[in-house]
């Protein structure tokens, strides 16, 4: 899972969205300060004693360790769901509220009529996810519906049990509204939105670029893979041929985004029992998301000691949902990375001549269904938004010529969400059982890495995979004549799966996993460049035996292997320009760069800046599109064409506006020199000065002085996007763990931010510095520090 590149949201966009509120509510902050102080003191969760909780069938014992990590022990899974809802509400309700509102397009109802917030609400309302969530709840199996009902009841009792409303609401002059069942589905939809291309924008941009570049140049600049690919099946996608010339029609100056940014998705891998001392599999996982306080996840251990529902599962939960997301249950351990398979297609709607609002379908002309969504911001008037929907999905764009584009997205399916995967993996007893559960699950499509006590390991896709026909889904297309479209979802036996490879290793890092027909079935939703995945693979093949400590060393690997090529190229360019006084101070740091994304490295930052400057200038010159950012983008696969062009320097492909390739290199070096000047000299141009972990509570963006109470100190951290230790400002590993099922006591766990959302909690920010420093801390909760018993209430 993690910020989505190319402008995709990070961590549900919560921090950024609240940042937009500064102008809108800044004038009332002085008045809010008093209410904030009062609420802060009285809104802390209850940690000890005994409380009634209506609906329980038996007491639930909750023991928290020194870090606030709870162990919940009860008699049934429904009781645990009710108790977990109670804890989530007491510790994280404001976070839960933002998550549901971000998915449903109701943020302005809390934050007010702030322009950018209203824009986000309008974009989300197109998908009508609250309406869809209501339908999903209605259609869920009875046991899952009951689980959500128990959780929802626990949430509302936990919220009501606070002496004061969660302190954030006092600053917003608001009161929290109760949780309802569909809000849990909205929390799952929020993950869909964070991880996927809900508007099929990638397909639409690809079509735009194809029109401008032509197929030969398009294939070269936007390849499907590179020599850095590290698929588990060993497959290789051949590099496209160098184009013979540059298309010149319709060219205008355009600025592309030079840095696709961190990839939402994560690292996950596993080794089989043949490579561990215990004979059990060993699974490692770190999911990359926006980093804030509190964190994305809420840690928990769920235990039922007797009876048919007996279980003992430890891991992370998502506040707003009643189940573990990733962890270990004593028999199976599992983790995720974002799969980047293709889950959304752009559908061109063929109009019916002379009848606006009608479009062609395989069953004849149909009317677009128009629905009015009301967006009602706090302190503002309601606004109407008309949403048009086709049989394939909502209209997401109308082109200048009037052509409408709809989107078909797996999240829109009537069964696009269920709890089969989350609840099922909690009690799966083998890799085979976990795979069967994954293929019945309906949730954001992820790479699932799973291992069991018998030493088995596997990879597959969890969630549904579209069964396309007549197309590969990479470009917008008309589905009107019935020769193209989706034939439902792939049956389980057609979803690619890799079990127990001969080398006993599985690895994923958002890049392509399989090739050939399996790749064609999954599609390409924007796979990451394979450098990070290859570095993980090579780390796994560097050893024949593994312990959790070995997994941590790979997770913390900040070696800049991908950038080594660029260091060599930059150093050669600097050596050839020794007469340039502005560049003279760069040569030494680049030569002695250390080959790591280290906090004190000047050379690493210089090399990275050179690569980005070269890429931006090259793609801007080639694309020259009519239009403006952010639709003019580079690609995560740009490393392949960039290396070939810089190495071969084909005369026929010198970018427009440059005399030759050396002129482009001159321009890139000059931009780096400009950046150094702005940083007040090369000695100040360290990676740590740029890669500062901005781990903030959302309130800090509205009331900066609150930061002294809520936020950890800013610090430069090692790591970057093209290595296993993914780290950026406000972005990185939302958790790290490695664990063998049945040997959880030997595993470790990291989480940034805070288990609690309340800054006066006795364990606020506990564990954050361990995450920052990569210091291993136990996977299991520690000794009981606080004990709370929830009793069946009247």
Q: Percentage of residues in the chain with pLDDT exceeding 70?
A: 92
- With a cut of 70, say whether residue 458 has pLDDT above it: yes
Residue with tokens 């394939």: 392
- With a cut of 80, say whether residue 592 has pLDDT above it: yes
Q: What is the pLDDT of residue 500?
A: 98
Give the range among 64-73, 236-245, 467-476, 691-700 with minimum mean pLDDT.
Answer: 691-700
**Helix count and strand count (H, E) for the chain:** 24, 32
How confident is the model over 604-635, as pLDDT tens digits?
999 999 999 999 999 988 887 433 343 455 68
For residues 513 and 497, give the distance between their C-alpha atoms in angstroms, rounded to a whole number: 10
Give the range among 58-72, 154-168, 291-305, 628-642 with minimum mean pLDDT.
Answer: 628-642
Q: What is the pLDDT of residue 701?
A: 73
Number of other CB atoms surrounding residue 119 within 10 Å: 12
- The DSSP secondary structure of 283-317, one letter per residue, reads EEEE-EEE-BSS-S-EEEEEEE-SSTT-EEEEEEE
In terms of Cα–Cα distance, which of 154, 99, 157 is closest to 130?
99
CA dihedral angle for residue 147, residue 151, residue 156, residue 160, rounded to 10 degrees: 130
How confident is the model over 186-214, as pLDDT tens digits?
999 999 999 999 999 999 999 988 988 89
Mean pLDDT of the chain: 92
- The DSSP secondary structure of 146-206, one letter per residue, reads HHHHHHHHHHHHHHHTSSS--THHHHTT--PPPP-HHHHHHHHHHHHHHHS-TT-HHHHHH
Element (H, E) at 77: helix 77-104
Contact 636, 260 (CB under 8 A): yes
CA 22 to chain centre: 26
Q: What is the pLDDT of residue 6?
A: 43
**Domains assigned to the chain:** 11-197+736-793 (1.10.439.10), 201-259+561-595+598-690 (no CATH), 344-412 (2.30.120.10)
Cβ neighbours of residue 222 closer than 8 Å, sequence gap 6 or more: 206, 209, 635, 637
- Of the pLDDT bands very low, low, confident and very high (cuts 50, 70, 90), residue 247 is confident
Q: What is the pLDDT of residue 2?
A: 42
Q: What is the pLDDT of residue 212?
A: 84
In terms of Cα–Cα distance, which of 571, 584, 334 is closest to 452?
334
How confident is the model over 397-452, as pLDDT tens digits?
999 999 999 999 999 999 999 999 999 999 999 999 999 999 999 999 999 999 99
Task: Give the highest mean pLDDT range of 2-11, 219-228, 690-699.
Answer: 219-228
Average pLDDT over residues 304-321: 97
Q: What is the pTM of this model?
A: 0.94
- CA torsion through residues 682, 686, 691, 697, sign: negative
For residues 13 and 124, give the distance between their C-alpha atoms in angstroms, rounded to a whole number: 12
For residues 146 and 794, give the distance between their C-alpha atoms in angstroms, rounded to a whole number: 19
């Amino acid at each position: 899972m993690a910020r989505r590149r190319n402008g995709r949201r990070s961590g549900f966009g919560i921090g950024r969205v609240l940042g937009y509120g500064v102008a809108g509510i800044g004038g009332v902050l002085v008045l809010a300060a008093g209410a904030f102080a009062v609420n802060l003191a009285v809104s802390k969760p209850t940690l000890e004693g005994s409380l009634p909780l209506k609906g329980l069938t038996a007491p639930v014992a909750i023991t928290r360790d020194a870090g606030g990590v709870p162990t919940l022990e009860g008699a049934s899974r429904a009781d645990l769901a009710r108790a977990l809802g109670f804890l989530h509400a007491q510790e994280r309700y404001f976070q839960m509220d933002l998550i549901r509102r971000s998915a449903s397009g109701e943020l302005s109802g809390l934050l007010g009529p702030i322009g950018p917030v209203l824009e986000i609400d309008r974009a989300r309302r197109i998908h009508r996810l609250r309406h869809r969530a209501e339908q999903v709840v209605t259609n869920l199996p009875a046991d899952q519906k009951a689980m959500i009902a128990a959780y929802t009841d626990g949430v509302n009792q936990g919220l009501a049990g606070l002496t004061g409303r969660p302190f954030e609401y006092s600053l917003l002059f608001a009161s929290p509204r109760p949780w309802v069942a569909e809000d849990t589905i909205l929390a799952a939809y929020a993950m869909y939105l964070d991880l996927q291309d809900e508007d099929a924008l990638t397909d639409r941009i690809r079509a735009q670029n194809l029109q401008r570049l032509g197929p030969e140049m398009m294939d070269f600049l936007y390849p499907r893979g590179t020599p850095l690919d590290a698929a588990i099946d060993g497959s290789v996608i051949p590099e496209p041929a160098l184009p013979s010339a540059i298309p010149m029609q319709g060219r205008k100056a355009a600025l592309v985004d030079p840095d696709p940014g961190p990839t939402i998705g994560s690292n996950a891998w596993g080794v089989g029992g043949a490579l561990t001392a215990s004979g059990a599999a060993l699974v490692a996982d770190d999911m990359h998301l926006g980093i804030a306080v509190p964190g994305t996840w809420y840690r928990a251990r769920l235990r039922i000691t007797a009876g048919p529902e007996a279980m003992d599962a430890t891991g992370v939960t998502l506040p707003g949902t009643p189940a573990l997301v990733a962890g270990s249950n004593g028999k199976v351990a599992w983790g995720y990375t974002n799969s980047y398979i293709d889950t959304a297609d752009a559908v061109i709607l063929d109009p019916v001549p002379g009848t606006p609002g009608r479009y062609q379908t395989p069953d004849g002309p149909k009317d677009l269904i128009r629905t009015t969504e009301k967006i009602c911001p706090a302190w503002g008037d309601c606004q109407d938004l008309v949403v048009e929907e086709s049989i394939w999905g909502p209209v997401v764009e109308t082109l200048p010529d009037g052509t409408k584009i709809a989107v078909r997205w797996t999240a829109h399916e009537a069964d696009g969400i269920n709890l089969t995967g989350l609840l099922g993996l909690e009690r799966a007893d083998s890799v085979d059982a976990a795979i069967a559960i994954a293929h019945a699950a309906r949730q954001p499509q992820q790479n699932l890495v799973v291992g069991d006590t018998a030493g088995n390991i596997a990879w597959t896709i969890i969630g549904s995979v579209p069964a396309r026909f007549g197309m590969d889904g990479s470009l917008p297309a008309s589905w009107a004549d019935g020769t193209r479209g989706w034939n439902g979802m792939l049956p389980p036996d057609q979803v690619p799966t890799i079990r127990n490879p001969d080398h006993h290793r599985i690895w994923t890092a958002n890049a392509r996993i399989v090739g050939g027909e399996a790749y064609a079935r999954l599609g390409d939703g924007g796979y990451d460049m394979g450098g990070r995945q290859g570095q993980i693979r090579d780390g796994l093949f560097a050893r024949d035996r593994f312990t959790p400590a070995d997994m941590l060393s790979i997770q913390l690997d900040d070696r800049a292997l991908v950038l080594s090529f660029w260091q060599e190229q930059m150093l050669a360019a600097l050596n050839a320009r020794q007469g340039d006084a502005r560049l003279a101070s760069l040569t030494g740091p680049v030569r002695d760069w250390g080959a790591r994304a280290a906090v004190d490295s000047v050379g690493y930052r210089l090399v990275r800046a050179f690569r980005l400057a070269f890429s931006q200038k090259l793609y801007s010159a080639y694309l020259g599109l009519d239009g403006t950012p952010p639709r003019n983008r580079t690609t995560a696969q740009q490393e392949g064409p960039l290396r070939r062009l810089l190495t071969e320097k084909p005369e026929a492909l010198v970018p427009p506006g440059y005399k030759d390739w050396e002129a482009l290199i001159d321009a890139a070096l000059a931009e780096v020199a400009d950046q150094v000047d702005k940083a007040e000299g090369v000695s100040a141009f360290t990676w740590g000065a740029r890669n500062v972990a901005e781990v903030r509570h959302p309130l800090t963006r509205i009331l900066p002085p609150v930061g002294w109470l809520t936020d950890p100190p800013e610090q430069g951290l090692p790591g970057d996007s093209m290595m296993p230790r993914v780290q950026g400002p406000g972005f990185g590993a939302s958790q790290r763990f490695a664990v063998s099922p049945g040997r959880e006591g030997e595993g470790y766990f990291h989480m940034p931010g805070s288990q609690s959302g309340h800054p006066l909690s006795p364990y606020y920010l506990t564990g954050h510095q361990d995450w920052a420093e990569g210091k291993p801390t136990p996977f299991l909760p520690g000794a009981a520090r606080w004990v709370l018993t929830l009793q069946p209430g009247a």
